[in-house]
Structure 1
């Protein structure tokens, strides 16, 4: 019986119960039968009529079944009633607790039921609302749309719309209405859900107003603005951004930022990576600082812009995207360049005035002393002194020219190990010549050698000493001290650790004003009426090119001290200079060809060389030099050396071409290049061009002879003019 269904098991139990009742009645009748006294119980039972008891059993079974079904039916009805009550309570709770107003209406709009929220929303009691029509709680213009609304409900079974509602006090407010058609007990009803969306509408209006303010702001500001999502794709652009990039917002939406913002490095012209992805990738909370770049528009136009990129994050710090703000500074840069150009022109005018003043003085000195030498031809001592002063004035003019060349070309130094003490002594003598200033030198004999370009370093030291002399008003004492110094690691100076030569040049003048101190190494800066503003800037540049450092300290009314730090090469070895202005043992033993388009220089140089025992010929053009060279070779009297000026005026062969032609004819020819343009590759790297030596203009005859002796193997010393 355990495997039977519950209802079948109940029926079997009732049948067994009925059978038991019939058997009990049967036994009772048998016992009570009068014949039982004279018969056995079994005989009494068999004497009774069985069909009567079967009928009784059926009646008992039916009675029990009726009672059972009545009980089951009652329990079922009670259970259904409880379920209905629970369901009604549940849905009543949901109905009343719903955040929206809920109405139950007939198809004609009559309100049958509503929840508390609906009554509260409209300002009525539930009793007041029930029985009203829906048209009574909406504005008239909304009520006119009800027929179409009901038609859609009947067709689709539901509807959703935004509509105005009217409170009991007559005020109007926005709502969102949803309806659904239901059937209850065969009667069609409409369930209406009404949500007050006043707050949402106010938020939407505020958001729309904020968007409008943002739109107006973005349209009004003079900077381009582009926003992107977390993948670096464009979301928004303002009109300035559209104008500068050449992209309309509709075209750019969804495109990668680097496609719309195509930027280049302003110096290298390399394409810059998209900064938005970098800002988002590294999670930086702060914006990327403004940096200058070139923005290439869709149409190829270029704008110089200042760009800032910042991440956009929510309150939790999660990245939502990035914003790029950029400002067109093209015109600003042009104006700045014009201003700088005007400043340079003004500075150049000032420099030119100072240079003209100095050159006038030098030329006046030269002319005066030449005239004096002519007058003193019968007095050799006086004539030689006048010529010495001419040479000194020329040296000063040469020094000024070298400064201009150093400053304008920035030529890298041709460094060789040398004794800086000799340079300091020579510069001090030259700077104090003709003044009442005395230089006190402290130059130890074991001073380390410096790897230097002697010409450039002499210029730098001379400028610093001359500055000190001028600060002393042409009288007083200038102290120059040099020492070996080993800089340790982490020194305060911006120099690597190692051996250096430290030179201190101190004057006792009025000092440098604190306002002027940061600018004294600036080009063209000068505090003197006739100064060029080149001396200290050239000195600073030369020291830096030699891997050194130049600083200054100054105390008002106590003077200034310039400190020079130059990397040492190796311990200095003493060298003894030998006289070079001597005639060769046999006159006209060596033949020299001079190619220069300056007639005066050609004549004076050839005369000087002839006087010193050389045989010299001049050529004014490359073609003439080549012809003379060929003629001498054909005659069996070739030139031992050829001095070639690079810059030859005219449309013919220049110095480089002439030199190449000579070397093609005679690869063993010994050529000396000379030029006033020391940044020419043929001069800077003369050996690569086939020259044996280089001689910088302006030069003295001693420089020419020294170079010739080196090239011709007459002396073991190297040329000094290269």
Structure 2
């Protein structure tokens, strides 16, 4: 037994705990007291947030502090005499045994990975950082378990986010390069169609090839949704109205019956309506495909609170909950549903939920999915409440018409891809325009400067067509800034395979008269030139 002075020391320790002095070294010292005294140490060890255990040589529990019940929900008293190993997940039991055999309090990174999954009273895993503090001569072991479940979840989410971001950057680059290739193919096909006319023997084959280009372009647009740089153009909107329109359109002609409930008095949210419609369309399609024989979809829009991704404080939001009566998602697949190209469907492409995730992320919103086999799936998406209290409708742009041809113009084309530049120039020349080609920004600025000084009738170019992204040279944004310094009235159009780049969606802010998303057809090019040159 310990001397009375030990009791005084222990009382001082408790007083220190009540003051909140809880260093790791201090905790270790208290835990070791369990092996040095036969007195009841509950008063001291009950203040420690970590689980403290003492087991015999057969791993039967001799002592557990109150943290055992706090962390796992089991009564410490009722666990006495049971094997601690029986509370460890079967897959982790071998590592648990290795930790118990290892030296006491090893430095991090030495020995078996010390994070072990214990099963709580509901059967759910709790991630515990296991430490062996002391081994006694009679084979008993004194140790502790730190609950790191929340930390493990955050680290797992961080790894998943980083993986998605890496794949997103790759997808964005691939989509950009693919759109450049489609620009060459689609432009050449359109020129051939115009030269040969509709009565040509190959007219039908050319039309099929053009349609295939449009289908390929739609796939790259889905890839760009979750690639780097797809910032939405947001305006304050009534989410209930947007959801009603989007879900009704997605369910048109479907065998699935939809039920939409919109709570009154919803605050506005700042959203890009087109992107939110894409989210709703993807979610409804997923729900519909889980019910091949028909079923029900329940949609509700309501005020809510949420914790932003990576945040700690709850914020006001508006949520959309979509629940179906479909086949549900197996538990082993739930962790993979956001992975690009992961799908269990024969006809799926695995991009739907990934696109939803990235759109929500760029709206500072969150995505939550709950599902079980044969019990259906519930998806909840939440957007933060807008600071605005009134709708701010953006100006609608009229669809240009190409019914009247554009007078010949002098056009300067900048693109770093030689074949794309030649194809765009050929398209412009087929429309009767005079074209000058350059590969990057500095050459573009020099050509424009020279045209202002050469005394040509109508000095300068009528239009400058700038590629946004230039490899190994000055890009479209830099070039536009230099051209505006030289000629504030410059008429320029930006073009890019990165359709979701913020410069593309907010091109007028940067001084551009218009924007062209690659790939574009000859008809669209002609109509767009008419609009910006008129």
What is the CA–CA distance in structure 1 between the aligned matches of 2:201 and 2:345, rounded to whole Å?
Answer: 40
Would the alpha carbon gap of residues 709 and 550 (structure 1) be closer, same or farther in structure 2, given more than 3 Å must change? farther
Relative contact order higher in (CA < 8 Å, ≥ 6 apart)? 2
- 1:478–1:505: 8 Å Cα contact kept in structure 2? no
Deviation at 1:539, TM superposition (A): 0.5
The Cα of 1:629 is off from its aligned counterpart by 1.5
Aligned residue pairs, count: 397
RMSD (Å) for aligned C-alpha atoms? 6.6
- Which of 328, 339, 342 matches 1:511? 328
Counterpart of 1:283 in structure 2 is 19
Which residue of structure 1 aligns with residue 130 of structure 2?
A: none
In our comparison, the structure showing a higher alpha carbon Rg is 1
Q: CA deviation at 1:595?
A: 0.8
Deviation digits for residues 657-715 of structure 1 (CA, Å, limit 9, x no counterpart): 54444334224434444444579887788778x54368475353577678767766x5x
Match of residue 542 from structure 1: 359
Would the alpha carbon gap of residues 411 and 308 (structure 1) be closer, same or farther in structure 2, given more than 3 Å must change? farther
Find the counterpart in structure 2 of residue 527 from structure 1: 344
Q: Distance in 1 between matches of 2:431 and 2:267?
A: 37
| Contact preservation (8 Å) 2:323, 2:376 | no
Among candidates 570, 584, 587, match of residue 407 of structure 2: 587
Q: Tell me the residue number matched to 1:329.
A: 108
TM-score in terms of structure 1 length: 0.40
Alignment of 1:453 with 2:272, yes or no, is yes
Q: Partner of 1:698 in structure 2?
A: 518
3-state DSSP class of the match of 1:516? helix
| 1:663 correspondence with 2:479 | no
Q: 1:571 to 1:504 in 2, by over 3 A?
A: farther
Q: 1:402 aligned to 214, 224, 243, which one?
A: 224
1:639-658 matches, cutoff 5 A: 639-650=461-472, 653-658=474-479
Q: Any residues of structure 2 matched to 1:361-376 within 5 Å, and which?
A: none
Deviation per residue, 1:534-570 (Å, 9 max, x gap): 4313312312432444444556447545444545775
Alpha-carbon distance change, 668 to 571 in structure 1, aligned in 2, over 3 angstroms: closer
SS of alignment partner, residue 643 of structure 1: strand
Structure 1 position 597 matched with structure 2 position 416 = yes
Would the alpha carbon gap of residues 497 and 458 (structure 1) be closer, same or farther in structure 2, given more than 3 Å must change?
closer
Q: Is 1:596–1:621's contact at 8 Å kept on the other side of the alignment? A: yes
How far apart are residue 596 of structure 1 and its match? 0.7
How many Å apart are 1:438 and its aligned residue?
Answer: 6.1
Secondary structure, in 3 states, of the residue corresponding to 1:593?
Answer: strand
Give the aligned partner of residue 487 of structure 1: 303
Number of the residue aligned with 2:100: none
Q: TM-score, normalised by structure 2?
A: 0.51
Instruction: Give the secondary structure class of the aligned counterpart of 2:221.
Output: helix
Aligned partner of residue 605 in structure 1, secondary structure: helix
Q: Secondary structure at the match of 2:402?
A: coil
Ranges in structure 2 where 5+ consecutive residues have no aligned partner: 4-9, 34-38, 51-103, 116-151, 308-312
Mapping of residues 87-102 of structure 1, within 5 Å: none
Q: Residues 399-446 of structure 1, C-alpha deviation per residue, up to 9 Å, x if partnerless?
A: 2431451xxx375433235798789978998x999xx96677889999
Which position in structure 1 is the counterpart of 2:283?
464
